[in-house]
A and B are shown apart, each in its own frame.
Chain A
Amino acid sequence: MKNKDLGFRLGTGVFALVLVLIVGAIGFELFRQSMLSLEKFGFAFWRTQIWDPVGGQFGALPFIWGTLYSSILALAISSPIALGIAVFITDLCPGWLRQPLVFLTELLAAIPSIVYGLWGIFVLVPLIRSLEQSMPDALRALPLFSGPPLGVGMLSAAVILAVMVIPFTSSVSREVLKSVPSAQREGAYALGATRFEAIRAAVFYARTGIIGAVMLGFGRALGETMAVTMVIGNNPKVSASLFAPQYTMAAVLANEFSEAADPLYLSALVEIGLVLFIITLIVNSLSRLLIWSMTGRVTASTEPVAAEAA
């Protein structure tokens, strides 16, 4: 009996180890292949704005900016909507509507990214273009809305990312909200809460899980490639404007990798991959830190946490 247990434990332990090794191997290989570029540019790579394959000058700042800006904006747009969907499905919607709604939101997740990109080019971009054109001149003067109304740009990318991220965030939030013990809601009602206040209590209880869901969406948004590259305008310039065409790390890798023949160029592209890898690791670590600071636990869960301020 003990031997069988040992075999099982060793076996699953090996699988877990293999996973860690794979991540380590990816990081190591990215580091190795970008040696040429690392030696030439060092840390200046992270803050240089020039991307010039002909002149051999490479800098990742426009891509880092574009990736973070589009992902954070997408989060800002999608999180309230996804949370709203989750709350509606668990607490507010009539029973017959529940399953169809669940099905439809999860259908969004099944649509391939390139199909989103095509929808973006033909439907979203003209919509955003007419939105940009109808913007009053007073607002246009602000740096946030400056630039010609092209349609392609940061705003289109953020909207398309938001649409792609909503199903992930909402389905995990829904699971988390569903597993809030009914005692919480009943207790709230017993204390005289309105419907909204009871829902608020449940959401507060499940907040670590919801943050985990938002972080999951963020991770998805950081790495999204095809849909973004078709609507973001692919222009490596740092700009605060929502209308300006910009660039993300995943997009530049998808676009330029196959034609890059020069060793330094290839190495610079791999270094962008390394930067994306590091940023994803940092984001995930920060989200763990956030959850830990809120609950004293490292992972998000819905178990009751002792001694929480109401």
Chain B
Amino acid sequence: MKKILATITAAVALGGAALVAQNMQINGAGATFPNPIYSKWFSEYNKLHSNVRINYQPIGSGGGIQQVTKETVFFGASDAIMTDDQLKAAQGHLFHFPTVLGAVVPVYNVAGAADLKFTGPLLADIYLGKIAKWNDAAIAKVNPGVKLPTSDITVVHRSDGSGTSFIFTDYLAKVSPEWKTKVGVNASVNWPTGVGGKGNDGVAGLVQQTPGSIGYVELIYALQNKIAYGAVQNAAGEFLKASVAGVTAAAAGAVANMPADFRVSITNAPGKGAYPISSFTWLLLYENPKDKAQAKAMVDFVKWALTDGQKYCEDLGYAKLPDAVVKLEMAQLAKIKIS
């Protein structure tokens, strides 16, 4: 009797093990900004390849970089480019793969001002605290004919570390030398003035509730919450409101000078029609991963995401990658050692 029981248990265990071996689970972690599109991709891909399940934890870009550096997850995701020091700390050579594009927009709550225009230096001065009132001459100059109130500007920024802040401060540093020296670029900075909201939704909520406030959020939040957002002047001098086309144009403008490792910032991109506060978001993959089976599955997924997966972007408010960028990425994908 005992022998029969033992054989049955062994058979079940072996069978279970075999079943588990067929189903692959790949773990990743990182940025919250692309979480909606990544979730869509992982579920759609699982429908096509039912044995591959990708599990993603949106713990923040910083967390993603940390976890992939320590190899506690197979891949990372970040809105912020890894620095040289961070790359050196990794267990091997990490590749950056841009996946989608997003835009950061300046949202505001000013009664009677439906469409405000901002220049880069103007936004920097507001966030530095140098411009304190809405009817300041600098704002009036860029918005002729608009009746601006005399109230104080309440500046709203992110209280938590975030890729959105990284993109925004990266843009401000490019258009304002004072911002670059005084505050700098990071997911979390020493904001000279203002109130901090937690998450994109925290900032959106604060701006909606506080008359006379200005903040910055990802485009999709402004659209979904129907908050007024302003047009920003790009490097070519045009005032543009953020749109999927504008973001794609910003990426295309950067293709000409795309570095081989894709670590490029496309804020304040040159070219007509390019929205200035745009950014890629990246997947971080090792060149020589230890688990070859997972590597092969991941490479196949990224190939799918960069081609078929792009059709899900626009509905969720992200912009597709330009074809030229996808071509370059396929070449980099081929370098990953999958055997």
Contacts and interface: CB of A to CB of B under 8 A. Distances in A.
A29 B197 CA distance: 30
Nearest to A261: B62
Given A53-B189, A54-B184, A148-B154, A260 B209 contact: no
A186 interface: no
B159 A259 contact: no
A233 interface: yes
B154 A259 contact: no
Given A121-B209, A151-B209, A234 B159 contact: yes
Contacts of B248: none
Contacts of B150: none
Secondary structure at the B interface, as helix, strand, loop or mixed, is: loop
Given A126-B209, A152-B195, A234-B159, A258 B63 contact: yes
A121 B183 contact: no
Interface stretch (B198-206, B223-231, B239-247, B277-285): B198-206
Contacts of A255: 159-161, 196, 198
B116 interface: no
Nearest to B59: A258
A52 B183 CA distance: 8
Contacts of A234: 159, 195-198
B210 A52 contact: no
Interface string A42-57: 0000000011111101
A261 B86 contact: yes
A245 B189 contact: no
A260 to B, nearest CB: 6
A214 B196 CA distance: 31
Contacts of B159: 229, 234, 251, 255-256
B187 interface: yes
Contacts of B154: 148, 150
Contacts of A126: 209
A251 B62 CA distance: 18
Interface in B186-218: 186-191, 194-198, 202, 205-206, 209-210
B210 A150 contact: yes
Given A148-B152, A150-B154, A151-B210, A259 B161 contact: yes
A52 B65 CA distance: 21
B321 interface: no
Contact of B185 (A54, A129, A256): A54
A52 B189 contact: yes
Given A52-B190, A55-B184, A230-B202, A256 B161 contact: yes
A125 interface: yes
Contacts of B162: 259
A259 B198 contact: no
Interface in B147-198: 152, 154, 159-162, 183-191, 194-198
Interface of A: 50-55, 57, 121-122, 125-126, 129, 148, 150-152, 229-230, 233-235, 245, 247, 251, 254-256, 258-261, 265
Q: Nearest 4 CB-CB pairs, A to B? A: A259-B161, A234-B196, A234-B159, A54-B184
Given A229-B159, A259-B63, 8 more contacts: A121-B209, A148-B154, A230-B202, A245-B196, A259-B60, A259-B61, A259-B187, A261-B66
13 contacts: A53-B189, A122-B209, A125-B209, A152-B195, A230-B202, A233-B195, A234-B197, A256-B188, A258-B62, A258-B161, A261-B63, A261-B65, A261-B187
